[in-house]
Structure 1
Amino acid sequence: MLAALSVVGVGVGGGALAWALQPDGGDGGGTSAGGKPGGSRKPSGRLPKELRDKGVVTIGSDISYPPMEFVRDGRPAGLDVDLANALGRALGLRVTFVNAAFDALLSGLHANRFDLVMSAMADTKGRQEGSTDGTKTGSGVDLVDYFKAGLVLVVRKGNPEGVKAPGGLSGKKVAVQRGTVARDYLDQLNRQVPEKLKIREFDSSAEVYDDVAKGRSVACLDDFPVAVHTAATRAGGTALELSGEQLEPVLYGVAVAKTNTALRDAVREALDRLIRNGEYAKMLKKWHVEDAAVERAVVNEGR
Protein backbone atom coordinates (compact mmCIF):
# COMPACT_ATOMS: atom_id res chain seq x y z
CA MET A 1 0.00 0.00 0.00
CA LEU A 2 1.24 3.50 -0.78
CA ALA A 3 3.08 4.99 2.16
CA ALA A 4 2.05 8.09 4.01
CA LEU A 5 4.70 10.68 3.27
CA SER A 6 6.06 13.76 4.96
CA VAL A 7 8.53 16.34 3.70
CA VAL A 8 11.61 15.94 5.85
CA GLY A 9 13.92 18.52 4.39
CA VAL A 10 15.06 20.71 1.55
CA GLY A 11 18.47 21.52 0.23
CA VAL A 12 19.48 17.87 -0.11
CA GLY A 13 21.59 17.37 -3.21
CA GLY A 14 21.46 20.95 -4.44
CA GLY A 15 18.01 22.08 -3.41
CA ALA A 16 16.14 18.83 -4.03
CA LEU A 17 13.23 17.80 -1.84
CA ALA A 18 13.38 14.72 0.33
CA TRP A 19 10.42 12.71 1.60
CA ALA A 20 10.35 10.05 4.30
CA LEU A 21 8.07 7.11 3.55
CA GLN A 22 6.16 5.99 6.60
CA PRO A 23 4.04 2.91 5.84
CA ASP A 24 0.41 2.90 6.90
CA GLY A 25 -0.28 1.19 10.17
CA GLY A 26 -0.98 -2.50 10.38
CA ASP A 27 1.39 -3.71 7.69
CA GLY A 28 4.21 -4.60 10.01
CA GLY A 29 6.78 -2.32 8.39
CA GLY A 30 8.13 1.16 8.53
CA THR A 31 7.95 3.53 11.42
CA SER A 32 6.28 6.68 12.56
CA ALA A 33 8.45 9.72 13.27
CA GLY A 34 10.71 9.01 16.20
CA GLY A 35 9.90 5.29 16.26
CA LYS A 36 12.27 2.43 15.83
CA PRO A 37 13.13 1.47 12.25
CA GLY A 38 10.74 -1.07 10.77
CA GLY A 39 8.27 -0.90 13.69
CA SER A 40 8.45 -4.26 15.51
CA ARG A 41 10.87 -5.61 12.89
CA LYS A 42 14.58 -5.22 13.32
CA PRO A 43 16.68 -4.28 10.30
CA SER A 44 17.84 -7.33 8.38
CA GLY A 45 21.10 -8.79 9.58
CA ARG A 46 22.18 -9.01 5.93
CA LEU A 47 22.42 -5.21 5.76
CA PRO A 48 25.65 -3.25 6.36
CA LYS A 49 26.02 -2.30 10.04
CA GLU A 50 25.97 1.42 9.22
CA LEU A 51 22.57 1.04 7.55
CA ARG A 52 21.21 -1.13 10.38
CA ASP A 53 22.26 1.48 12.91
CA LYS A 54 20.77 4.32 10.87
CA GLY A 55 17.52 2.48 10.24
CA VAL A 56 16.83 4.46 7.06
CA VAL A 57 17.66 3.76 3.43
CA THR A 58 17.99 6.88 1.25
CA ILE A 59 16.95 6.52 -2.37
CA GLY A 60 17.84 8.98 -5.12
CA SER A 61 15.28 9.42 -7.90
CA ASP A 62 14.25 11.86 -10.61
CA ILE A 63 10.59 11.96 -9.60
CA SER A 64 9.16 13.07 -12.94
CA TYR A 65 8.39 9.90 -14.90
CA PRO A 66 4.86 8.55 -14.37
CA PRO A 67 3.87 5.86 -13.65
CA MET A 68 7.31 4.86 -12.30
CA GLU A 69 7.81 7.89 -10.04
CA PHE A 70 6.07 11.25 -9.99
CA VAL A 71 4.72 13.82 -7.55
CA ARG A 72 0.99 13.56 -6.88
CA ASP A 73 -0.75 15.79 -4.34
CA GLY A 74 2.62 17.04 -3.16
CA ARG A 75 4.24 13.68 -2.51
CA PRO A 76 5.89 10.86 -4.45
CA ALA A 77 3.78 8.16 -6.09
CA GLY A 78 4.35 5.43 -8.64
CA LEU A 79 5.60 1.89 -9.02
CA ASP A 80 9.15 2.63 -7.88
CA VAL A 81 7.80 4.36 -4.77
CA ASP A 82 5.52 1.43 -3.92
CA LEU A 83 8.30 -1.07 -4.58
CA ALA A 84 10.81 0.89 -2.50
CA ASN A 85 8.37 1.00 0.39
CA ALA A 86 7.80 -2.76 0.14
CA LEU A 87 11.56 -3.37 0.08
CA GLY A 88 11.92 -1.12 3.12
CA ARG A 89 9.35 -3.19 5.00
CA ALA A 90 11.08 -6.42 3.99
CA LEU A 91 14.44 -5.07 5.18
CA GLY A 92 13.11 -3.45 8.36
CA LEU A 93 14.09 0.07 7.24
CA ARG A 94 12.39 3.40 6.80
CA VAL A 95 12.69 4.79 3.27
CA THR A 96 13.60 8.34 2.30
CA PHE A 97 13.26 9.50 -1.31
CA VAL A 98 15.47 12.37 -2.51
CA ASN A 99 14.44 14.10 -5.73
CA ALA A 100 17.39 14.92 -8.01
CA ALA A 101 18.14 15.40 -11.71
CA PHE A 102 18.54 12.06 -13.50
CA ASP A 103 22.06 12.88 -14.71
CA ALA A 104 23.16 13.51 -11.10
CA LEU A 105 21.82 10.29 -9.58
CA LEU A 106 24.83 8.02 -10.02
CA SER A 107 27.31 10.70 -8.98
CA GLY A 108 25.14 11.21 -5.86
CA LEU A 109 25.29 7.48 -5.20
CA HIS A 110 29.09 7.49 -5.44
CA ALA A 111 29.25 10.55 -3.17
CA ASN A 112 27.18 8.68 -0.54
CA ARG A 113 24.24 11.09 -0.79
CA PHE A 114 22.06 8.07 -1.58
CA ASP A 115 22.23 4.41 -0.60
CA LEU A 116 20.28 3.32 -3.69
CA VAL A 117 19.00 4.79 -6.94
CA MET A 118 15.51 3.87 -8.17
CA SER A 119 14.46 5.91 -11.19
CA ALA A 120 13.41 3.66 -14.08
CA MET A 121 17.14 3.36 -14.79
CA ALA A 122 18.07 1.05 -17.67
CA ASP A 123 20.62 -1.61 -16.76
CA THR A 124 23.40 -1.17 -19.33
CA LYS A 125 26.99 -2.36 -19.55
CA GLY A 126 28.06 1.28 -19.59
CA ARG A 127 26.46 1.91 -16.20
CA GLN A 128 27.80 -1.36 -14.79
CA GLU A 129 31.33 -0.46 -15.89
CA GLY A 130 31.16 3.31 -15.42
CA SER A 131 31.90 3.91 -19.09
CA THR A 132 30.47 5.75 -22.07
CA ASP A 133 31.17 4.56 -25.62
CA GLY A 134 33.83 2.25 -24.22
CA THR A 135 35.62 5.08 -22.37
CA LYS A 136 35.91 4.88 -18.58
CA THR A 137 34.12 7.92 -17.14
CA GLY A 138 33.69 6.95 -13.48
CA SER A 139 32.92 4.17 -11.06
CA GLY A 140 30.46 1.54 -12.15
CA VAL A 141 27.43 0.33 -10.24
CA ASP A 142 25.61 -2.94 -9.72
CA LEU A 143 21.98 -3.03 -10.82
CA VAL A 144 19.36 -5.28 -9.26
CA ASP A 145 16.93 -5.83 -12.14
CA TYR A 146 13.22 -5.55 -11.33
CA PHE A 147 11.38 -4.49 -14.52
CA LYS A 148 11.63 -5.06 -18.27
CA ALA A 149 10.14 -2.59 -20.73
CA GLY A 150 10.65 -1.32 -24.26
CA LEU A 151 8.86 0.84 -26.78
CA VAL A 152 5.25 0.29 -27.82
CA LEU A 153 2.83 1.62 -30.41
CA VAL A 154 -0.21 3.60 -29.27
CA VAL A 155 -3.26 4.03 -31.51
CA ARG A 156 -6.82 5.28 -31.24
CA LYS A 157 -9.25 2.98 -29.46
CA GLY A 158 -10.29 0.17 -31.77
CA ASN A 159 -7.17 0.62 -33.91
CA PRO A 160 -9.05 1.97 -36.97
CA GLU A 161 -5.91 1.83 -39.16
CA GLY A 162 -5.10 -1.73 -38.11
CA VAL A 163 -1.49 -0.94 -37.14
CA LYS A 164 -0.17 -3.88 -35.11
CA ALA A 165 3.57 -3.77 -35.78
CA PRO A 166 6.22 -1.25 -36.88
CA GLY A 167 6.09 -2.50 -40.47
CA GLY A 168 2.46 -1.36 -40.64
CA LEU A 169 3.62 2.26 -40.31
CA SER A 170 5.11 2.29 -43.80
CA GLY A 171 4.05 5.48 -45.56
CA LYS A 172 1.91 6.61 -42.62
CA LYS A 173 2.03 9.57 -40.25
CA VAL A 174 3.59 8.76 -36.88
CA ALA A 175 3.90 11.06 -33.85
CA VAL A 176 6.95 11.05 -31.59
CA GLN A 177 8.71 13.25 -29.06
CA ARG A 178 11.94 14.91 -30.13
CA GLY A 179 15.25 13.64 -28.79
CA THR A 180 13.94 10.31 -27.53
CA VAL A 181 14.89 6.68 -28.05
CA ALA A 182 11.55 6.30 -29.84
CA ARG A 183 12.64 8.96 -32.36
CA ASP A 184 15.88 7.07 -33.00
CA TYR A 185 13.92 3.85 -33.50
CA LEU A 186 11.76 5.48 -36.18
CA ASP A 187 14.91 6.65 -38.00
CA GLN A 188 16.12 3.04 -38.11
CA LEU A 189 12.69 1.83 -39.21
CA ASN A 190 12.72 4.30 -42.11
CA ARG A 191 15.70 2.43 -43.57
CA GLN A 192 13.71 -0.81 -43.68
CA VAL A 193 10.13 -0.03 -44.74
CA PRO A 194 9.09 0.18 -48.42
CA GLU A 195 7.74 3.71 -48.03
CA LYS A 196 9.19 6.23 -45.58
CA LEU A 197 7.20 7.20 -42.52
CA LYS A 198 5.86 10.72 -42.23
CA ILE A 199 7.27 11.54 -38.81
CA ARG A 200 5.55 14.29 -36.83
CA GLU A 201 7.81 15.55 -34.02
CA PHE A 202 6.69 17.34 -30.85
CA ASP A 203 8.35 18.82 -27.80
CA SER A 204 6.09 17.17 -25.22
CA SER A 205 4.53 13.79 -24.63
CA ALA A 206 1.10 15.41 -24.24
CA GLU A 207 1.32 16.83 -27.77
CA VAL A 208 2.29 13.43 -29.16
CA TYR A 209 -0.74 11.67 -27.71
CA ASP A 210 -3.07 14.53 -28.63
CA ASP A 211 -1.94 14.22 -32.24
CA VAL A 212 -2.94 10.55 -32.32
CA ALA A 213 -6.24 11.16 -30.52
CA LYS A 214 -7.19 13.80 -33.09
CA GLY A 215 -6.38 11.42 -35.95
CA ARG A 216 -3.57 13.52 -37.38
CA SER A 217 -1.18 10.60 -36.91
CA VAL A 218 -2.21 6.95 -37.09
CA ALA A 219 0.02 6.03 -34.13
CA CYS A 220 2.76 7.19 -31.82
CA LEU A 221 5.72 5.36 -30.33
CA ASP A 222 6.65 5.73 -26.67
CA ASP A 223 8.14 3.96 -23.66
CA PHE A 224 5.87 1.14 -22.50
CA PRO A 225 5.20 2.37 -18.92
CA VAL A 226 4.46 5.92 -20.09
CA ALA A 227 2.17 4.65 -22.85
CA VAL A 228 0.27 2.39 -20.45
CA HIS A 229 -0.16 5.19 -17.92
CA THR A 230 -1.31 7.68 -20.55
CA ALA A 231 -3.83 5.31 -22.11
CA ALA A 232 -5.22 4.39 -18.67
CA THR A 233 -5.48 7.91 -17.26
CA ARG A 234 -6.18 10.10 -20.30
CA ALA A 235 -9.30 12.18 -19.63
CA GLY A 236 -11.59 13.49 -22.36
CA GLY A 237 -11.29 13.19 -26.12
CA THR A 238 -10.68 10.01 -28.06
CA ALA A 239 -9.54 7.00 -26.03
CA LEU A 240 -6.20 5.38 -26.84
CA GLU A 241 -4.88 1.84 -26.61
CA LEU A 242 -1.60 -0.02 -27.00
CA SER A 243 -1.01 -2.13 -30.09
CA GLY A 244 1.37 -5.01 -30.67
CA GLU A 245 4.33 -6.31 -28.68
CA GLN A 246 6.94 -4.30 -26.82
CA LEU A 247 9.91 -3.41 -29.01
CA GLU A 248 13.52 -3.85 -27.89
CA PRO A 249 12.75 -4.22 -24.16
CA VAL A 250 15.49 -3.41 -21.65
CA LEU A 251 15.87 -4.17 -17.96
CA TYR A 252 15.47 -1.47 -15.31
CA GLY A 253 17.58 -1.85 -12.19
CA VAL A 254 18.02 -0.56 -8.66
CA ALA A 255 21.54 0.92 -8.65
CA VAL A 256 23.92 0.10 -5.79
CA ALA A 257 27.56 1.10 -5.40
CA LYS A 258 29.84 -1.80 -6.35
CA THR A 259 31.54 -1.52 -2.97
CA ASN A 260 28.23 -2.12 -1.16
CA THR A 261 27.74 -5.81 -1.93
CA ALA A 262 25.90 -6.51 1.34
CA LEU A 263 23.18 -3.98 0.50
CA ARG A 264 23.00 -5.22 -3.11
CA ASP A 265 22.47 -8.81 -1.99
CA ALA A 266 19.92 -7.82 0.65
CA VAL A 267 17.91 -5.87 -1.92
CA ARG A 268 18.06 -8.74 -4.41
CA GLU A 269 16.90 -11.25 -1.83
CA ALA A 270 14.10 -8.98 -0.61
CA LEU A 271 12.91 -8.40 -4.17
CA ASP A 272 12.91 -12.13 -4.83
CA ARG A 273 10.69 -12.62 -1.77
CA LEU A 274 8.26 -9.98 -3.04
CA ILE A 275 8.13 -11.75 -6.42
CA ARG A 276 7.52 -15.15 -4.83
CA ASN A 277 4.83 -14.01 -2.38
CA GLY A 278 2.84 -12.15 -5.06
CA GLU A 279 3.21 -8.63 -3.66
CA TYR A 280 5.35 -7.61 -6.63
CA ALA A 281 2.67 -8.73 -9.11
CA LYS A 282 0.00 -6.76 -7.22
CA MET A 283 2.08 -3.59 -7.44
CA LEU A 284 2.59 -3.98 -11.18
CA LYS A 285 -1.13 -4.61 -11.68
CA LYS A 286 -1.98 -1.46 -9.72
CA TRP A 287 0.01 0.57 -12.26
CA HIS A 288 -1.17 -1.47 -15.31
CA VAL A 289 2.36 -2.66 -16.17
CA GLU A 290 2.06 -6.42 -15.61
CA ASP A 291 3.66 -7.07 -19.00
CA ALA A 292 6.93 -5.64 -17.69
CA ALA A 293 7.32 -8.18 -14.88
CA VAL A 294 10.53 -10.13 -14.32
CA GLU A 295 10.45 -13.71 -13.04
CA ARG A 296 13.22 -13.26 -10.49
CA ALA A 297 15.65 -10.65 -9.23
CA VAL A 298 19.05 -10.79 -10.90
CA VAL A 299 22.09 -8.53 -10.88
CA ASN A 300 23.68 -6.90 -13.94
CA GLU A 301 21.73 -8.82 -16.59
CA GLY A 302 21.44 -5.73 -18.80
CA ARG A 303 23.36 -5.47 -22.06
Structure 2
Amino acid sequence: MVRILSCLTAVVVLVATAAHAQQPSRLDEITRRGTLRVGMTGDYLPFTYFDKATSRFRGFDVDMAEALGKVLGVKVEYVRTAWPQLSGDFEADHFDIAMGGISITPERQSKGMFSTPIMREGKTPIARCSDKGKYETIADIDKPGTRVIVNPGGTNERFTRANIKNAEIKIYTDNVTIFDEIARGNADLMMTDSSETRYQQKLHAGVLCAVHPERPFDFAEKAYWLQRDVALKAFVDHWVQTAIKDGSFARIYADWFE
Protein backbone atom coordinates (compact mmCIF):
# COMPACT_ATOMS: atom_id res chain seq x y z
CA MET A 1 0.00 0.00 0.00
CA VAL A 2 2.79 2.38 0.95
CA ARG A 3 4.56 1.52 -2.29
CA ILE A 4 1.40 2.22 -4.31
CA LEU A 5 0.93 5.59 -2.57
CA SER A 6 4.57 6.48 -3.25
CA CYS A 7 4.13 5.65 -6.95
CA LEU A 8 0.94 7.71 -7.14
CA THR A 9 2.71 10.66 -5.48
CA ALA A 10 5.55 10.40 -7.98
CA VAL A 11 3.08 10.37 -10.88
CA VAL A 12 1.29 13.47 -9.53
CA VAL A 13 4.60 15.31 -9.17
CA LEU A 14 5.64 14.38 -12.72
CA VAL A 15 2.28 15.48 -14.16
CA ALA A 16 2.42 18.78 -12.26
CA THR A 17 5.99 19.37 -13.39
CA ALA A 18 5.11 18.65 -17.00
CA ALA A 19 2.08 20.94 -16.85
CA HIS A 20 4.21 23.72 -15.38
CA ALA A 21 6.85 23.21 -18.06
CA GLN A 22 4.17 23.58 -20.75
CA GLN A 23 2.91 26.90 -19.39
CA PRO A 24 4.02 29.78 -21.62
CA SER A 25 6.40 32.26 -20.04
CA ARG A 26 5.65 35.97 -19.77
CA LEU A 27 8.19 36.45 -22.58
CA ASP A 28 6.19 34.03 -24.77
CA GLU A 29 3.01 35.91 -23.92
CA ILE A 30 4.54 39.26 -24.91
CA THR A 31 5.76 38.00 -28.28
CA ARG A 32 2.44 36.24 -28.97
CA ARG A 33 0.50 39.39 -28.02
CA GLY A 34 2.79 41.58 -30.11
CA THR A 35 3.00 44.31 -27.49
CA LEU A 36 5.17 45.08 -24.48
CA ARG A 37 3.13 46.87 -21.81
CA VAL A 38 5.34 49.43 -20.07
CA GLY A 39 4.17 51.15 -16.89
CA MET A 40 5.35 54.77 -16.47
CA THR A 41 4.47 57.66 -14.19
CA GLY A 42 5.25 60.28 -16.83
CA ASP A 43 6.33 62.85 -14.25
CA TYR A 44 10.02 62.18 -13.74
CA LEU A 45 12.32 63.91 -16.22
CA PRO A 46 14.77 63.05 -17.62
CA PHE A 47 13.50 59.47 -17.29
CA THR A 48 9.88 59.89 -18.34
CA TYR A 49 7.44 62.69 -19.08
CA PHE A 50 3.88 62.54 -20.38
CA ASP A 51 3.10 65.42 -22.71
CA LYS A 52 -0.62 66.15 -22.39
CA ALA A 53 -0.60 68.22 -25.57
CA THR A 54 0.50 65.27 -27.68
CA SER A 55 -0.58 62.42 -25.37
CA ARG A 56 2.88 60.94 -25.80
CA PHE A 57 5.68 59.93 -23.45
CA ARG A 58 9.25 61.13 -23.84
CA GLY A 59 12.44 60.68 -21.86
CA PHE A 60 15.46 58.46 -21.37
CA ASP A 61 13.48 55.38 -20.39
CA VAL A 62 11.00 55.99 -23.20
CA ASP A 63 13.86 55.72 -25.68
CA MET A 64 15.10 52.64 -23.83
CA ALA A 65 11.62 51.08 -23.92
CA GLU A 66 11.41 51.65 -27.66
CA ALA A 67 14.82 50.02 -28.09
CA LEU A 68 13.68 47.02 -26.03
CA GLY A 69 10.49 46.72 -28.04
CA LYS A 70 12.50 46.75 -31.27
CA VAL A 71 14.75 43.93 -30.04
CA LEU A 72 11.68 41.93 -28.96
CA GLY A 73 10.02 42.59 -32.30
CA VAL A 74 6.88 44.02 -30.66
CA LYS A 75 5.15 47.38 -30.25
CA VAL A 76 5.43 49.29 -26.97
CA GLU A 77 2.17 50.08 -25.20
CA TYR A 78 2.58 52.68 -22.46
CA VAL A 79 0.40 52.38 -19.37
CA ARG A 80 0.31 55.53 -17.28
CA THR A 81 0.53 55.07 -13.53
CA ALA A 82 1.56 57.21 -10.52
CA TRP A 83 3.99 56.71 -7.68
CA PRO A 84 1.33 56.13 -4.97
CA GLN A 85 -0.40 53.46 -7.10
CA LEU A 86 2.66 52.00 -8.87
CA SER A 87 2.87 48.88 -6.69
CA GLY A 88 -0.87 48.29 -6.85
CA ASP A 89 -0.92 48.58 -10.63
CA PHE A 90 2.08 46.24 -10.84
CA GLU A 91 0.37 43.61 -8.67
CA ALA A 92 -2.80 43.96 -10.74
CA ASP A 93 -0.73 43.05 -13.82
CA HIS A 94 -1.51 46.28 -15.66
CA PHE A 95 1.92 46.11 -17.30
CA ASP A 96 4.74 43.68 -17.99
CA ILE A 97 7.55 46.00 -16.95
CA ALA A 98 7.82 49.29 -15.06
CA MET A 99 10.30 51.83 -16.39
CA GLY A 100 10.98 55.49 -15.73
CA GLY A 101 13.58 55.91 -13.00
CA ILE A 102 12.43 52.98 -10.85
CA SER A 103 14.58 52.40 -7.76
CA ILE A 104 15.14 48.91 -6.40
CA THR A 105 13.47 48.49 -3.00
CA PRO A 106 12.81 45.39 -0.85
CA GLU A 107 9.06 45.99 -1.08
CA ARG A 108 9.18 46.02 -4.87
CA GLN A 109 11.52 43.03 -4.98
CA SER A 110 8.99 41.03 -2.98
CA LYS A 111 6.42 41.53 -5.76
CA GLY A 112 8.51 41.10 -8.89
CA MET A 113 11.99 40.87 -10.35
CA PHE A 114 14.50 43.58 -11.22
CA SER A 115 16.77 43.69 -14.22
CA THR A 116 20.48 44.30 -14.12
CA PRO A 117 20.85 47.82 -12.60
CA ILE A 118 21.15 50.61 -15.15
CA MET A 119 22.27 53.32 -12.73
CA ARG A 120 23.77 53.69 -9.25
CA GLU A 121 23.18 56.90 -7.28
CA GLY A 122 21.38 58.16 -4.16
CA LYS A 123 19.39 60.97 -2.57
CA THR A 124 20.87 64.46 -2.46
CA PRO A 125 19.44 67.97 -2.02
CA ILE A 126 18.61 70.56 -4.64
CA ALA A 127 18.08 74.13 -3.47
CA ARG A 128 18.27 77.71 -4.70
CA CYS A 129 21.85 78.42 -5.70
CA SER A 130 22.05 81.23 -3.15
CA ASP A 131 21.29 78.69 -0.38
CA LYS A 132 23.38 75.82 -1.70
CA GLY A 133 25.94 75.97 1.13
CA LYS A 134 23.27 75.80 3.84
CA TYR A 135 22.21 72.21 3.17
CA GLU A 136 25.33 70.09 3.04
CA THR A 137 24.23 67.51 5.61
CA ILE A 138 21.03 66.01 7.01
CA ALA A 139 21.73 67.87 10.25
CA ASP A 140 21.93 71.14 8.31
CA ILE A 141 18.56 70.42 6.73
CA ASP A 142 16.68 68.97 9.69
CA LYS A 143 16.14 72.21 11.59
CA PRO A 144 12.97 74.09 12.53
CA GLY A 145 12.16 76.65 9.88
CA THR A 146 13.54 74.63 6.95
CA ARG A 147 10.87 73.69 4.41
CA VAL A 148 11.54 70.37 2.70
CA ILE A 149 9.24 69.69 -0.25
CA VAL A 150 8.57 66.15 -1.46
CA ASN A 151 6.37 64.29 -3.92
CA PRO A 152 4.25 61.55 -2.32
CA GLY A 153 4.27 57.81 -2.73
CA GLY A 154 7.83 56.95 -3.71
CA THR A 155 11.34 56.62 -2.37
CA ASN A 156 11.73 60.41 -2.03
CA GLU A 157 8.95 60.58 0.55
CA ARG A 158 10.23 57.46 2.30
CA PHE A 159 13.75 58.88 2.59
CA THR A 160 12.52 62.30 3.72
CA ARG A 161 10.24 60.96 6.45
CA ALA A 162 12.96 58.61 7.70
CA ASN A 163 15.48 61.43 8.08
CA ILE A 164 13.54 64.64 8.74
CA LYS A 165 12.08 65.04 12.22
CA ASN A 166 12.35 68.76 12.96
CA ALA A 167 12.13 70.57 9.63
CA GLU A 168 8.77 71.08 7.92
CA ILE A 169 7.82 68.49 5.30
CA LYS A 170 5.64 69.90 2.52
CA ILE A 171 3.82 67.39 0.33
CA TYR A 172 3.41 68.53 -3.27
CA THR A 173 1.60 66.21 -5.67
CA ASP A 174 2.81 67.51 -9.04
CA ASN A 175 6.27 66.08 -9.58
CA VAL A 176 6.67 68.05 -12.83
CA THR A 177 6.35 71.52 -11.28
CA ILE A 178 7.68 70.73 -7.82
CA PHE A 179 11.09 72.28 -8.53
CA ASP A 180 9.43 75.56 -9.53
CA GLU A 181 8.15 75.76 -5.94
CA ILE A 182 11.75 75.90 -4.71
CA ALA A 183 12.70 78.46 -7.36
CA ARG A 184 9.75 80.67 -6.32
CA GLY A 185 10.71 80.49 -2.66
CA ASN A 186 7.70 78.42 -1.57
CA ALA A 187 10.06 75.70 -0.29
CA ASP A 188 13.74 75.59 0.57
CA LEU A 189 14.89 72.30 -0.91
CA MET A 190 14.01 68.84 -2.09
CA MET A 191 15.93 65.60 -1.59
CA THR A 192 15.75 63.36 -4.63
CA ASP A 193 17.94 61.19 -6.84
CA SER A 194 21.21 62.82 -7.84
CA SER A 195 20.47 62.24 -11.54
CA GLU A 196 17.29 64.29 -11.22
CA THR A 197 19.04 67.09 -9.33
CA ARG A 198 21.61 67.36 -12.10
CA TYR A 199 18.89 67.51 -14.74
CA GLN A 200 16.82 70.09 -12.86
CA GLN A 201 19.95 72.17 -12.25
CA LYS A 202 20.40 72.28 -16.02
CA LEU A 203 16.75 73.26 -16.57
CA HIS A 204 16.91 75.98 -13.89
CA ALA A 205 20.43 77.21 -14.69
CA GLY A 206 21.65 79.81 -12.21
CA VAL A 207 18.52 79.44 -10.05
CA LEU A 208 18.60 75.90 -8.66
CA CYS A 209 21.77 74.01 -7.77
CA ALA A 210 22.33 70.33 -6.98
CA VAL A 211 24.11 69.88 -3.64
CA HIS A 212 27.04 67.43 -3.90
CA PRO A 213 25.29 65.04 -6.35
CA GLU A 214 28.55 63.11 -6.59
CA ARG A 215 28.30 62.36 -2.84
CA PRO A 216 24.66 61.41 -2.15
CA PHE A 217 23.36 60.70 1.33
CA ASP A 218 22.62 57.05 0.56
CA PHE A 219 23.06 54.41 -2.11
CA ALA A 220 20.41 53.19 -4.52
CA GLU A 221 20.17 51.40 -7.82
CA LYS A 222 17.76 51.99 -10.65
CA ALA A 223 16.58 49.09 -12.79
CA TYR A 224 13.58 47.82 -14.69
CA TRP A 225 10.85 46.20 -12.59
CA LEU A 226 9.58 43.00 -14.21
CA GLN A 227 6.68 40.71 -13.58
CA ARG A 228 8.06 37.50 -12.10
CA ASP A 229 9.27 35.53 -15.11
CA VAL A 230 12.73 34.01 -15.42
CA ALA A 231 12.74 34.05 -19.23
CA LEU A 232 11.74 37.72 -19.39
CA LYS A 233 14.38 38.70 -16.84
CA ALA A 234 17.08 36.79 -18.71
CA PHE A 235 16.11 38.51 -21.96
CA VAL A 236 16.04 42.02 -20.45
CA ASP A 237 19.30 41.46 -18.56
CA HIS A 238 21.05 40.38 -21.75
CA TRP A 239 19.59 43.36 -23.63
CA VAL A 240 20.80 45.83 -20.95
CA GLN A 241 24.28 44.32 -20.88
CA THR A 242 24.50 44.34 -24.68
CA ALA A 243 23.32 47.97 -24.86
CA ILE A 244 26.00 48.98 -22.36
CA LYS A 245 28.72 47.12 -24.25
CA ASP A 246 27.80 48.20 -27.78
CA GLY A 247 27.46 51.89 -26.84
CA SER A 248 23.72 52.28 -27.53
CA PHE A 249 23.00 52.84 -23.84
CA ALA A 250 25.63 55.61 -23.72
CA ARG A 251 24.16 57.31 -26.79
CA ILE A 252 20.66 57.41 -25.31
CA TYR A 253 22.08 58.51 -21.95
CA ALA A 254 23.96 61.40 -23.59
CA ASP A 255 20.72 62.66 -25.20
CA TRP A 256 19.10 63.19 -21.81
CA PHE A 257 21.76 63.56 -19.13
CA GLU A 258 24.64 65.42 -20.75
Whether these two folds match at TM > 0.5 is yes
Aligned counterpart, 1:257: 227
Runs of 4+ in 1 over 6 A off after TM superposition: none
CA drift of 1:58 comes to 2.1
> Matched residues in 1 for 2:132 and 2:98: separation?
41
DSSP 3-state at the match of 1:122:
coil
Q: Which moved more, 1:205-214 or 1:57-66?
A: 205-214
Q: What residue is the counterpart of 1:152 in the other structure?
A: 124
Change in Cα spacing, 1:229 to 1:265, as seen in structure 2 (3 Å) is same
Give unmatched runs, 5+ long, in structure 2.
1-24
| Change over 3 Å in CA distance of 1:88–1:160 after alignment to 2 | closer
Which has more strand, going by share of residues? 1
Q: Once the two structures are aligned, what percentage of the paired residues are identical?
A: 18
Task: Determine the structure 1 residue equivalent to 2:89.
Answer: 105
Question: Which of the two has higher C-alpha Rg?
Answer: 2
Report the secondary structure of 1:57's partner residue.
strand
The structure with the largest helix share of the pair is 2
Q: Deviations over 1:236-286 (max 9, x none)?
A: xx611101122223223322232x211211111001111112221232332
Question: Are 1:153 and 1:242, in contact at CA under 8 Å, matched by a contact in 2?
Answer: yes
Give the conservation status (yes or no) of the 8 Å contact 1:173–1:216. Answer: no
Q: Secondary structure at the match of 1:251?
A: strand
What does residue range 180-191 of structure 1 map to in structure 2 within 5 Å? Answer: 181-182=155-156, 185-186=159-160, 188-189=162-163
* Deviation by residue 1:112-137 (Cα, 9 ceiling, x = unmatched): x53322243332233333xxxxxxxx
Give the match's secondary structure for 1:247. coil
Of 220, 232, 249, the match for 2:202:
232
Q: What is the TM-score when the length of structure 2 is the normalising length?
A: 0.69
Aligned to 1:126: 107
For residue 67 of structure 2, what is the aligned residue in structure 1?
A: 86
Counterpart in 2 of 1:164?
136
Q: Relative contact order: is structure 1 or structure 2 higher (C-alpha 8 Å, sep ≥ 6)?
A: 2
Instruction: Give the whole-Å Cα distance in 2 for the aligned partners of 1:184 and 1:56.
Output: 33
What secondary structure, in the 3-state scheme, does the structure 1 residue paired with 2:95 have? coil
Unmatched tracts of structure 1, length 5 or more: 1-45, 130-139, 291-303
Residues 1-303 of structure 1 mapped to structure 2, 5 A cutoff: 48-72=27-51, 73-101=54-82, 102-109=86-93, 113-129=94-110, 140-144=111-115, 145-157=117-129, 161=133, 163-169=135-141, 171=143, 173-177=146-150, 179=152, 181-182=155-156, 185-186=159-160, 188-189=162-163, 198-199=167-168, 201-204=170-173, 209-210=179-180, 212-214=182-184, 219-234=189-204, 239-244=207-212, 245-258=215-228, 260-288=229-257
| 1:29-68 deviations in Å (ceiling 9; x for gaps) | xxxxxxxxxxxxxxxxx99444444443222233333332
